[in-house]
């Protein structure tokens, strides 16, 4: 069940600035994600949304500012450390392991949960086999949840885009993350696929209690799904609040529609 809305802060980004050469992608952005909520980050193209996610999971190291996740503050970490901390992520353009089957992709998401080392895996018997089967069991639950049973043995390179997105979500879920970052989970999907994906996102949030931060351009989806929305424009946070508050914010309207002269 969905955890009761608390005000406990899971992720706090404080005064983060990031620049690439002369381009300042993020200028002093602060925002937080509460435990158990669905948090959206929106903004026009080039607003710095993806940069924000990349900072959170360690791809980019911010020039200034701190990131506090689960009460621990840090300013520099590697992506796999973020993963170990419980941050999972999907990409705008699907980043699956093309040569592997859907099942293996999701199984790869269990890497951090694997306890037996190389020597046990070579033998693949006793505890190692038992562990492998447990992971398989867990992964099958996710496959069930995402309704991709039929394609589990298919190499993901052969799957249509919508299903690839689903497998990628599955791989992130296999990590049993505390915070799930979704970078445009609905980009390039038709209405039906968007509805499916929205349902999965809400279900993930409800059933597993996973906190979700997502970037999305489809306003209807964002306003429907999210508890709170932050709006970025040119690397600056221009609005933050419930969907209704954001919708009526003058700054947001100007950012999206332009200013009347």
Partner 1 sequence: MLYREAGQFKTTYAEDMAIFPIRQDRIALAVLLGIAFIGVPLLATFHIWPFGSDYLLWAILLPFLILALAAIGTNILVGYCGQISLGSGAFMAIGAYSAYKLVTGVHIPLAWLSFAISIPPLPVFASILLGGLIAAGVGILFGIPSLRIKGLYLAVATLAAQFFFDWAFLRIPWFTNYAPSGSVNAPELNFFGLIVQSPIERYLLCLLLVTLMALLAKNLVRGNLGRQWMAIRDMDIAAELIGIRPLYAKLTAFAVSSFIIGVAGALWAFVYLGSWEPLAFSIDRSLQLLFMVIIGGLGSIMGSFVGAAFILIVPIMLNLIPAELGVPLSTETIAHFEFIIFGSLICYLLIKEPHGFARLISIGKEKLRLWPFPY
- Burial of 85: CB neighbours in 10 Å, binned 0-12, 13-18, 19+: middle
Which one of residues 78, 190, 206, 250 is an interface residue with partner 1 (CB under 8 A)?
78
How many Cβ atoms from other residues are within 10 Å of residue 244's Cβ?
10
**Total binding residues toward partner 1, as defined by CB under 8 A:** 42
Site for partner 1 in 172-231 (CB under 8 A): 172, 174-175
Binding mask 32-61 for partner 1 (x = CB under 8 A): -------------------------x-x--
Q: Which part of the chain contacts partner 1 (CB under 8 A), choosing from 73-81, 185-193, 205-213, 215-223?
A: 73-81
Cβ pair 214, 41 in contact under 8 A: yes
* CA angle, 90 then 91 then 93, to 5°: 145
Task: Match 């038992």 to its residue by tokens.
Answer: 130
> What distance in Å separates the CA atoms of residue 9 and residue 151, rounded to the nearest whole number?
38
CA-closest candidate to residue 229, choices 243, 249, 217: 243
> What is the smallest separation between the CB atom of 194 and partner 1, expressed in angstroms?
23
Which one of residues 49, 165, 171, 228 is an interface residue with partner 1 (CB under 8 A)?
171
Q: Which residues bind partner 1 (CB under 8 A)?
A: 57, 59, 78-80, 82-84, 88-89, 91, 95-100, 104, 107-112, 114, 118, 121-124, 128-129, 132-133, 135-137, 140, 171-172, 174-175
């Amino acid at each position: 069940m969905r955890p009761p809305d608390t005000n406990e802060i899971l992720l706090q980004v404080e005064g983060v600035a990031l620049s690439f050469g002369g381009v300042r992608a993020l200028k002093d952005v602060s925002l937080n994600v509460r435990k158990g909520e669905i948090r959206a980050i929106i903004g026009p193209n080039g607003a710095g949304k993806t940069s924000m996610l990349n900072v959170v999971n360690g791809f980019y190291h911010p020039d200034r500012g701190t990131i506090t996740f689960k009460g621990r503050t840090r300013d520099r970490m590697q992506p796999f450390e973020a993963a170990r901390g419980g941050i999972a992520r999907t990409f705008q353009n699907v980043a699956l392991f093309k040569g592997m089957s859907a099942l293996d992709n999701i199984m790869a998401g269990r890497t951090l949960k694997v306890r037996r080392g190389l020597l046990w895996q070579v033998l693949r018997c006793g505890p190692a086999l038992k562990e492998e089967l447990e992971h398989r069991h867990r992964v099958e639950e996710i496959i069930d949840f995402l309704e991709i049973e039929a394609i589990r043995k298919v190499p993901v390179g052969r799957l249509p885009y919508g299903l690839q997105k689903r497998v990628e979500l599955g791989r992130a879920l296999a990590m049993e993350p505390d915070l799930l970052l979704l970078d445009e989970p609905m980009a390039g999907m038709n209405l039906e696929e968007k509805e499916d994906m929205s349902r999965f996102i809400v279900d993930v949030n409800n059933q597993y209690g996973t906190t979700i931060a997502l970037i999305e351009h489809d306003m209807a989806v964002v306003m429907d799904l999210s508890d709170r929305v932050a709006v970025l424009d040119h690397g600056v946070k221009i609005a933050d609040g419930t969907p209704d508050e954001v919708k009526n914010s003058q700054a947001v309207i100007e950012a999206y529609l332009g200013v009347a002269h």
